């Protein structure tokens, strides 16, 4: 494999790992394997620590492709709890308010979902990597500061209700959407549209572009693949070294 010219690796990100954790782990193995002190490894599209699923990792000169790789359509399976909200719109923070849910039915959910398909505006979560005056919003939010973010335009191609349990007010959705969509914010907005509150309790990215979960490696599978791969170097690489 030619990691210097660039390889694209599809990883099933584990729960509670940050996207940076995945990049750091694979970069460390590549540095050792390539006998280098520095080497470019990046990812196309951040996944929150509490999310799992398809993550695109890019090496070497192929990091120049990150922007185009990020533009691919993404598919998620999202689990949303209705009747309560959290400041982060997911399980990172504690519940801050509860709301009545007796009026919510499967039919009511099906009625509101079409409002969120097509080209829509969405206000990102305060607990996000968006920048406000040069500072990350999540750093400000975690310190208790008020964060005002402007709406962003995005496209949601499909929202499908896969399951709804009226006893615990949990619904499962399949969502196909564009780059920049915050599923946590969608959970918030759906809760509001249903006259209640809502927050995300589970998220799995099942596809990026044409690549699905079945094509992904676990982190440790990727580590073993790098350790055992036959390494090649481009002809113009001045730092090419012998590899074991």
Separation of alpha carbons 27 and 174, rounded Å: 32
Residue of 48, 111, 235, 236 marked catalytic: 48
The radius of gyration of the chain from alpha carbons, rounded to an integer in Å, stands at 20
Q: Is the dihedral of CA 23, 29, 33, 36 positive or negative?
A: positive
Active site residue 48: yes
Separation of alpha carbons 193 and 27, rounded Å: 43
Largest CA distance in the chain: 68
Q: Where are the beta strands (DSSP E) in the chain?
A: 8-13, 41-43, 51-59, 74-82, 84-85, 97-98, 118-122, 131-132, 135-136, 152-165, 170-177, 198-208, 211-212
Catalytic site positions: 48
């Amino acid at each position: 494999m030619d990691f210097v010219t660039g390889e694209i690796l599809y990883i099933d990100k584990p729960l509670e790992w940050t996207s940076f954790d995945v990049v750091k782990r694979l970069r460390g193995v590549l540095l050792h394997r390539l006998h280098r002190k520095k080497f470019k490894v990046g990812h196309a599209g951040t996944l929150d620590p509490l999310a799992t699923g398809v993550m695109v990792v890019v090496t070497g000169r192929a990091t120049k492709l990150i922007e185009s790789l990020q533009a691919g359509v993404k598919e998620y399976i999202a689990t949303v709890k209705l009747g309560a909200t959290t400041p982060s719109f997911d399980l990172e923070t504690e519940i801050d308010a509860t709301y009545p849910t007796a009026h919510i039915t499967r039919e009511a959910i099906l009625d509101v979902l079409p409002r969120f398909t097509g080209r829509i505006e969405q206000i990102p979560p305060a607990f996000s990597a968006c920048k406000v005056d040069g500072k990350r919003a999540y750093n400000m939010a975690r310190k208790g500061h008020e964060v005002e973010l402007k709406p962003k335009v995005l496209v949601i191609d499909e929202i499908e209700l896969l399951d709804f349990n009226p006893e615990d007010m949990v619904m499962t959705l399949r969502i196909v959407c564009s780059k920049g969509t915050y599923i946590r914010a969608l959970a918030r907005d759906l809760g509001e549209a249903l006259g209640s509150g809502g927050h995300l309790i589970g998220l799995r990215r099942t596809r990026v572009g044409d690549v699905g979960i079945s094509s992904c490696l676990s982190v440790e599978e990727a580590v073993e693949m790098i350790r055992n791969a036959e390494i090649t170097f481009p002809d113009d690489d001045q730092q090419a070294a012998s590899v074991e």
